[in-house]
């Protein structure tokens, strides 16, 4: 490790990049949850969120910071935030944090993740699949075998070749910081760059599996 230290005796910048990104995402989500805990997003809270993002440009690059930044830029295009825009922002924050209007249940179902709704048509022949999370159908190997038997291909990671990312039904409330969460983030980022990656839950995948059996 010493061979890779810089002149100040510190590891190179990329060594800390992933850790810093997770920390920023955690801090941002914590800020968002604090804003909606009382069921109301005030003018001051919205302005504070805008300032925080402005002061953390690295957080604006990936999901969910990029989504929030774009929405706030549009909301503040006229310099103020009105009642409809506050409601719109509150709903976005609840969606990103997985909180509902009662604020008494954490996000723990994959249907609360950035999954396509409605689910797209799911095909197998020649399509590449990546799985993330635990599947009710069976082990990862069993899921991959089911796809292969129907003419599909299996990918180890999410790339531009990926056609479907299938997310297991149970997701951690801290999914953004988990291993399977990184796959979801990567899929969201690639889609924003024009890739046609479908993010689907296990249920529509199972229905397509049964139909193609």
The length of the chain, given as a count of residues: 213
The larger pLDDT score, comparing residue 22 to residue 175, is at 22
Minimal CA–CA distance to 187: which of 138, 148, 111, 129?
A: 129
Q: What percent of the chain has pLDDT over 90?
A: 31
Interval 91-113 mean pLDDT: 57
As a whole number of angstroms, the distance between CA 158 and CA 199 comes to 11
Question: Which tens digits make up the pLDDT trace of 185-198?
Answer: 888 888 888 899 99
Same domain, residue pair 86 and 115: no
Question: Domain total for the chain?
Answer: 2
Same domain, residue pair 7 and 99: yes
Same domain, residue pair 100 and 153: no
β-bridge partners, 90: none
Last residue of a domain, one of 105, 137, 163: 105
Same domain, residue pair 125 and 75: no
Range 68-74 contact pairs with CB under 8 angstroms and sequence separation of 24 or more: 68/28, 68/32, 68/92, 68/96, 72/46
The pTM of this model reads: 0.52
Last residue of a domain, one of 105, 128, 147: 105
Same domain, residue pair 34 and 92: yes
Q: Which residues contact 63 (CB under 8 A, 6 or more apart)?
A: 114, 185, 188, 189
Same domain, residue pair 163 and 205: yes
Please check the confidence at residue 109 and state whether its pLDDT lies above 90: no
Same domain, residue pair 87 and 126: no
Same domain, residue pair 184 and 118: yes
| Residue ranges making up the domain that contains 7 | 2-105
* CATH number, residue 139: 3.40.50.10190
Last residue of a domain, one of 105, 130, 155: 105
Minimal CA–CA distance to 147: which of 115, 125, 121?
A: 125
Interval 22-36 mean pLDDT: 81
Same domain, residue pair 147 and 178: yes
**Please, is 141 exposed, middle or buried when counting C-beta atoms within 10 Å of its C-beta (0-12, 13-18, 19+)?**
exposed
Same domain, residue pair 91 and 135: no
Same domain, residue pair 94 and 132: no
As a whole number of angstroms, the distance between CA 157 and CA 159 comes to 6
Which pLDDT score, from 0 to 100, does residue 17 have? 63
Same domain, residue pair 130 and 194: yes
Question: Which tens digits make up the pLDDT trace of 127-172?
Answer: 999 998 877 788 889 999 999 999 999 998 999 999 999 988 654 4
First to last CA, the chain: 51
Half-sphere exposure of 142 (CA within 13 A, CB side): 7
Locus of tokens 């109301």: 40
Which pLDDT score, from 0 to 100, does residue 12 have? 53
Q: Interhelix angle for 43-55 vs 83-97, to 10°?
A: 60
């Amino acid at each position: 490790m010493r061979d890779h230290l810089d002149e100040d005796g510190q590891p190179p910048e990329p060594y800390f990049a992933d850790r810093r990104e997770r920390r920023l995402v955690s801090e941002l989500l914590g800020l968002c949850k604090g804003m909606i805990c009382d069921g109301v997003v005030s003018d001051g809270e919205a302005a504070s969120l805008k300032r925080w993002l402005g002061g953390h440009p690295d957080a604006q690059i990936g999901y969910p910071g990029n989504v929030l930044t774009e929405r706030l830029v549009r909301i503040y295009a006229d310099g103020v935030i009105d009642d409809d825009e506050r409601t719109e922002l509150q709903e976005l924050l609840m969606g990103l944090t997985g909180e509902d209007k009662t604020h008494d249940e954490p996000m723990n179902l994959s249907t609360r993740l950035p999954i396509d709704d409605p689910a797209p048509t799911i095909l197998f022949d020649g399509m590449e699949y990546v799985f993330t999370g635990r599947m009710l159908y069976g082990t990862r190997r069993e899921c991959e075998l089911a796809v292969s038997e129907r003419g599909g291909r299996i990918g180890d990671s999410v790339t531009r070749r990926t056609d479907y990312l299938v997310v297991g039904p149970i997701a951690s409330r801290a999914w953004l910081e988990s291993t399977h969460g990184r796959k979801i983030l990567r899929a969201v980022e690639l889609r924003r760059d024009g890739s046609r990656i479908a993010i689907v839950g296990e249920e529509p995948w199972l229905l397509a599996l049964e139909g193609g059996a």
